[in-house]
Structure 1
């Protein structure tokens, strides 16, 4: 069986975290016997002129490969960004197109992405199958593009890598990692792990932390880690200084191994995204490490985070409500906290890569 994967997002040496979920799925398929797997992918390019040139080459490669080769499955990720060459090919020959929708390719409201939606709709209707990461995204595809349920399959973007994200003894976390960022294990830890961009909820989190500052025990007994980089990184740094938050530690984007350290040393992870997250792997990775999540009752996050069971929920963008939830988390009795930690691990089990690794291939084979 010949499968050809196409994506405009794929990790590289310079951008190792760019499109890692696509690479993860590629690797999962490659492990299946009897598969001849190939790919046409685009790596991240910041320079606008170079990016335009690389997209042109990318388009030419797609048309050439699909025209000259016969694949049993053409498996496309973020197809909205290369819909034109696919539509051209579909006029010339029949292809078995499977589209993997990830979220922003459907839900983005930016003017640029809105222009791509028309062609995206055409491809969704002409594809043989559509793969989405959650039931939330399935509902959006059905309602916005009038696609029948039977054509859509749920697969959680490669799942959570249990070889990296699992409960670790805090004493085994590398001391050089802790000393590098001046993290004290004598204090309890709340961590924000996400990009520092508009809609990710970092600003709501900072407001909540500023409100909690009036309680002396919060600054004395707790540390807050802000892990991530992004377009609003400097704004965050200014907010920390202005709010005089002494217990906040800034950490740039980390490797997946180091992220597992953060999840494991944290008592709670805040996932305050206000965006229509298709799934939200940050939350699932944290749960897999046994760390409860404080998240927004929103989109894909709400599909696995259950208030009082494996974490706590609050309304997106509501700093006052986040303060209440954080206060509940901080003052939680040990017995209840241990129960929530146990539930966190159990609820992440069905999202572990080892438990879903055959699902993707079965979907492609059907």
Structure 2
């Protein structure tokens, strides 16, 4: 089977943290099939692009670069493939129905999370996404939560395949954990990074008395606001902001972190939480979306209600005050996420692609 992976963003030197799981999928499938192509928006090779930081001009440039990147592939090369495996239900998904009609290629659309965002206001993005999904031959998604969204909001069925974390990087390491609390993710509203600042500001004495520091590895629309808040509220001694880091650096961070905060308001799955558990961290996460599918409160992590700053702080204090006993109780928690590894994801993807090939 010949497969063309189509995605909007992709890890590049300018944007090393973008869609790393797509790169892992591409690498894994190349070991299984003779021909696995890749096409992505070259904008992300040329320009740095953090979530939520764009404007009308950058959006236009991204669209023009997308068309420039995809047109030669779709017009001339795509016809040599059996399956288009797209990651991104709207972009690049909106371009693919025409390709299906031109070349008779099957389209497998992997839905990550945007379909959930678009379903809330039923606007133009929702209608375009619905059109793409209805035209797709098959729909794949990353969690039971997203399967329910696709079924309830779009009236369509989907297949669950984990995107996969890199178990060669994210695994339990026997080394000293010198970082009290860490967070890694985009500085945007739905990731809930502002909740960490609110918790710390309201309970500043707790962090000072216990000499606790929180390290935030983040970039995005809210970063400057976070920096300003830290400065005006005199939190710089206990709250430290860093740039986003690569997967290798993230694995090293998690190997040294005691507690990882994952306060997302919305999360279709949340590979960060899985990677942190696989690395032996104690994860405190919001009870939302796909997160609650792999975190069992009090068993392999802790959950708090989304947007509840008081409960987030309560969980932080509980874990800090009982760290040794919790660490002992959770000593095998890394095994609870092994089913989400990239190996599992590639095996599931291969089985799925082989099954649809047999149906041709």
TM-score category, normalised to shorter length: 0.7 to 0.9
Q: Give the 5 Å matches for 1:1-366.
A: 1-32=1-32, 34-43=33-42, 44=44, 45=47, 48=58, 50-65=61-76, 69-108=79-118, 114-148=123-157, 152-157=158-163, 159-171=164-176, 185=178, 189-215=180-206, 218-245=208-235, 246-275=237-266, 277-332=267-322, 334-343=324-333, 345-366=334-355
- Distance change in 2, residues 1:52/1:104 (3 Å): closer
Aligned-residue offset at 1:169:
3.0
Aligned-residue offset at 1:62:
4.8
Partners in 2 of 1:27 and 1:102 — Cα distance? 19
- Distance change in 2, residues 1:60/1:87 (3 Å): same
Aligned-residue offset at 1:146:
0.8
Aligned-residue offset at 1:93:
4.5
Which one is further off, 252-261 or 242-251?
A: 242-251
- Distance change in 2, residues 1:26/1:222 (3 Å): same
- Distance change in 2, residues 1:7/1:264 (3 Å): same
Gaps of 5+ in 2: 50-56, 356-360
Could you say which residue in structure 2 is the equivalent of 1:179?
none
User: TM-score, normalization: structure 1?
Assistant: 0.86
Partners in 2 of 1:102 and 1:62 — Cα distance? 23
Aligned CA RMSD, in angstroms, stands at: 2.3
Which one is further off, 41-50 or 355-364?
A: 41-50
- Distance change in 2, residues 1:298/1:141 (3 Å): same
Tell me the SS of whatever aligns to 1:199.
Answer: helix
Aligned-residue offset at 1:219:
4.2
Aligned-residue offset at 1:331:
1.3
Tell me the SS of whatever aligns to 2:275.
Answer: helix
Aligned-residue offset at 1:75:
0.9
Q: Contact 1:263/1:289 (CA < 8 Å) preserved in 2?
A: yes
Gaps of 5+ in 1: 174-184
Aligned-residue offset at 1:69:
1.7
Q: Contact 2:41/2:70 (CA < 8 Å) preserved in 1?
A: no
Structure 1 segments, 4+ long, off by >6 Å, are none
User: TM-score, normalization: structure 2?
Assistant: 0.87
- Distance change in 2, residues 1:212/1:98 (3 Å): same
Tell me the SS of whatever aligns to 1:162.
Answer: coil
Q: Contact 1:62/1:85 (CA < 8 Å) preserved in 2?
A: no
Cα displacement string for residues 123-157 of structure 1 (whole angstroms, at most 9, x for unaligned residues): 32232221101111111011111113xxx221121
Tell me the SS of whatever aligns to 2:349.
Answer: helix
